[in-house]
Amino acid sequence: MRKKIVAGNWKMNMNLAEGLKFAESVSRYFNNKPAAKAEVILCTPFIHLGGVSAILENSKVASGAQNCASEESGAYTGEVSAGMIKSTGAKYVIIGHSERRSYYHEDDAILNRKTSMALKSGLKVIFCCGEVKEERETGKHFEVVKRQLENGLFLHSGNEMAEVVIAYEPVWAIGTGLTATPDQAQEMHKFIRQLVNEKYGKEIAEDMTILYGGSCKPSNAAEIFSKPDVDGGLIGGASLKLDDFTAIVEAV
């Protein structure tokens, strides 16, 4: 059965006290409700992760990180390993976000390694892909997403793919207020599912959760999520406001 997911990506926002308070309010909101139709995840900065994971333990909300190291342990000053993330109680890690790809020069080979580290440590991976504006305008978007998935993700086994969620995030839609139309999202999500099918077979492709991300908000979420190959969202800006975030979850 394909799982629906709404994941909040806090990015580099909120200090520790603010983050813990916000996680408490999200947890309280969903714990007082009948089960949501989607799994809800909060992807926080590393600093928040231990505290947030403790708050979310035994709640209906899961925690995750936004990145992990490409190495297992050792002399890598400033890095945080997948094993450390797992030890906080977190279940997920975002890998390959476009901000990591562009500002920190993370290429397909590094992302493949990070994905291996995460899966080896028992984390589930939210693997991001998506084209920049110019690539869409020149009709290269399918080719770009195919390359990102084939070189960064598809070197893993079918069993490992059961622990992976794919997030399609057109870079031109992230934080810009521009969203892909529901039809553009559906077209790409269908293409991604087809790629998974060709590589891993029908069962894995049908079970694969594929999220949309990029200026998702309460006013557009329901329409985007209504498309057959869109299984939820990866939410940036709108995940920092309780009302907006919960409304997006309810839109599933």
Closest by CA to 185, choosing from 118, 129, 104, 113, is: 129
Binding segment toward ligand PGA, per CB under 6 A, in 65-73, 79-87, 194-202, 232-240: 232-240
Q: Which of 111, 164, 185, 235 binds ligand PGA (CB under 6 A)?
A: 235
- Which amino acid makes up residue 73? S
Does an H or E element contain 171, and which?
Answer: none
Q: Which of 6, 234, 248, 251 binds ligand PGA (CB under 6 A)?
A: 234
6 binds ligand PGA (CB under 6 A): no
CA distance 248 to 243: 9
43 binds ligand PGA (CB under 6 A): no
Torsion over CA of 215, 140, 186 and 33, rounded to 10 degrees?
Answer: -30
Which residue, 11 or 86, has its beta carbon nearer to ligand PGA?
A: 11
**Sequence-ordered list of residues with C-beta below 8 angstroms from that of 184, at least 6 positions apart, any chain:** 170
Q: Which of 44, 67, 209, 215 binds ligand PGA (CB under 6 A)?
A: 215
Pairing of strands 232-235, 39-43: unpaired
* Active-site hit among 48, 97, 156, 189: 97
Binders of ligand PGA: how many residues, by CB under 6 A?
A: 13
Question: What is the number of the residue whose Cβ is closest to ligand PGA?
Answer: 236
Q: Which of 189, 214, 220, 225 binds ligand PGA (CB under 6 A)?
A: 214
Torsion over CA of 193, 184, 4 and 95, rounded to 10 degrees?
Answer: 70
Residues contributing to the site for ligand PGA (CB under 6 A)? 9, 169, 174-175, 213-216, 234-238
